[in-house]
Every structure is written in C-alpha cells, then in structure tokens.
Amino acid sequence: MSVRAEHAVEIEGVSFAYPARAVGEQPVRALDRITMPVRAGTRLGVLGPNGGGKSTLVKLILGLIEPDEGRVTVLGLRPPEARRRGLIGYLPQRTTAETDFPISVRQAVALPLAARSRGWILRDRRAERAADEALGLVGMDGFGDRPVGALSGGQLQRALIARAVVCKPELLVLDEPTVGVDAAGQQRFADLISTLHAGLGMTIITVSHDLRAIAAGSDRVACLHRSVHFHDAPEGLTPGILAQVFAHDVEPLFGRLHVDAHAADACEDPSHHHHSGPRGQNGASGREGSGR
C-alpha cells in the first residue's frame, strides 16, 4: 500500500477481442486501441452502452484477462500483481455471494483481508478491526454481529462496498453499482461513494451504462464504445443538465456531453434508445455476453 504513482491506472493502446464463438465467425472485438490515463485520487466515470466494452475494461484493470495489444498498469504494477497486493477493491455488478451462508457481517467483510493472514493465527483481530472500520465508513456501525442473511438489499450492497475497501485499496472499481436502484437510492449511493473518497482518498472508477449513476460522483467522464473519449465533468455535467438527466432519458443528453461530433458518433448505439427500460437493466448482452 506504499505504492504511489502519478497515475492510478494507465491503459495504453489496449485492444481486446473475444475468440470467435463458432467456426467461421470472426473474433469479437470488444476494445480497440484504448488509451486511458487515470490520475491518482480522481473519480472517473466510464459511460457506455451495453456491449460497449465496459466489462472487458473492468476485467483488464482487475487483471482477469490480458490485453491482445497494449499495456495496462495499476499503480505502476501489472494488474494481477496489484490485485495480489490488495491494491484493488472491486464491487461486482451483481453479487454472487451465498447470502444464507452462516456468517456474520463482520466475518464476511473481513474475509478478503483475513484470507491473506497465516493459517495458524486463530483469530485475525486485525482483519476484524479493519472490517469494523470499513463498516463504519459505509454507515453500517453496529451491524457487524448480524448474520449476512438478515441484511436488506441496500444494506447488503453497503456491506459489499465495505468488503471491497477492507484492504484499504488504492483503486476502487464499481461495476454498474446502481442497476435497478431508484433515483433516491442512486443519490444515497453517490453520497456514500463521496464519503468513502473523502475518507480514504482512493481512485474510484465507476462503470455504467446509466449517466445518472456516473453524473453524481465523478470528476471526469470517459465515454466508451470500443474506443474511448474523455470529458472533464465540470463543463459537461452542469446542474441544469443533471436536472434534465434525472427527469428524462439519457439519450438527448449525449450530444451535449460530447464536445466533438466524432465522440458522439462513437457513443451511438441502437441498444441505447430504450435505456431506462428493462433491456438496459439486463447488463451484459450480445457482444459482452459472448465473452463469458
């Protein structure tokens, strides 16, 4: 955790294609020569349509896949090494946790840190303290002794955020954190992330197809649709735009968000039109789904 680099994440000329699904089909290109420096301590929102390569980008940053060309470094390290050192926190889009597991909230939050400690240490008090601290950060003081199965959906998500930051990572990656959450819930989530950012000073990358999820808590916005385009949030996301965002669909705002016409083209995608409908909630579809 002593690693300090100017850039938390450096993505240089990265391309990635999933292998063809059937004989005769072409490999599916998910990312095309992406270059994306993420300065340490910033909050970056990555906005893009379903199938635009967001999940692929997340997997590359986490080091779960290797790029076909180009280079990804996290805090100056190869991503798997950064992961091994506990420098990356990750909140998945949908939790796969067994919520009826006989485990307390504290134990569940402590596990990623505790799993690193020596087997002969009977009780890992350091991890327990870190778990309590993380629970405090997400406003879950006093929940430590409850069974995980007794938490509501919102509480569970906060506990999972606590778990993602229990190792005090330098980088936190949030994958579609507010899918299926109403506007008030999104605001609460954005406030929570701002508190975390202020408390731990980490770099935060939020990936979403939903502008609202990104607008509230990002210093910069990158638009991703196989290639990437950056926008500094201050002029892009004014209060006026935000008001409209919360009232209307995201689509009309794309033109305004993108300074140059080229970027707007890059963001256009047919799947984007029914954004707030159930299709938008489905998460991975088409291209992204084929890679799993």
Partner 1 sequence: MTFLEQLQIFVPGIVVALLVALLGGMFSVIVVMKRLAFVGQGVSHAAFGGVGLAAILGFGSTLGIDPLARTLVVAVFSIAAGLMVSHLAKRTERRTDTAIGIVMTASMALGFVLYRLAANRARGAGAGPLPSIEGVLFGELLSISPAAAWTTAGAVVLIAAALFWNRRAILLWSFDEASCAPSGLNTSRLGMLVLILLASTVVLAVQVAGVVLATAVLVLPGATALRLTRSLVPAFVCSVTVALLTIAAGIGLSVELDWPPGATIALTQCGVWLLAAFATGWKR
Binding residues for partner 1, per CB under 8 A? 62, 64, 83-86, 88, 90, 92, 95-98, 101-104, 107-108, 111-112, 114-117, 119-120, 124, 147, 149, 163, 167
Q: φ and ψ at 138, to 5 degrees? A: -95, 15
> Using an 8 Å Cβ cutoff, are 123 and 130 in contact?
no
Toward partner 1, which CB reaches closer, 88 or 151? Answer: 88
Q: How far is the CB of 65 from partner 1 (least distance, A)?
A: 11
Q: φ and ψ at 96, to 5 degrees? A: -105, 10
Q: How far apart (Å, rounded) are the C-alpha atoms in residues 75 and 118?
A: 26
Toward partner 1, which CB reaches closer, 95 or 187? Answer: 95
Q: How far apart (Å, rounded) are the C-alpha atoms in residues 138 and 188?
A: 11
Q: How far is the CB of 156 from partner 1 (least distance, A)?
A: 11
Triad 272, 270, 252: Cα angle to 5° = 50
Q: How far is the CB of 160 from partner 1 (least distance, A)?
A: 8
Toward partner 1, which CB reaches closer, 69 or 98? Answer: 98
Q: How far apart (Å, rounded) are the C-alpha atoms in residues 68 and 80?
A: 16
Toward partner 1, which CB reaches closer, 72 or 114? Answer: 114
Q: How far is the CB of 86 from partner 1 (least distance, A)?
A: 6
Pairing of strands 227-232, 220-225: antiparallel
Toward partner 1, which CB reaches closer, 135 or 250? Answer: 135
Q: How far is the CB of 119 from partner 1 (least distance, A)?
A: 3
* Contact partners, residue 136, CB within 8 Å, separation at least 6: none
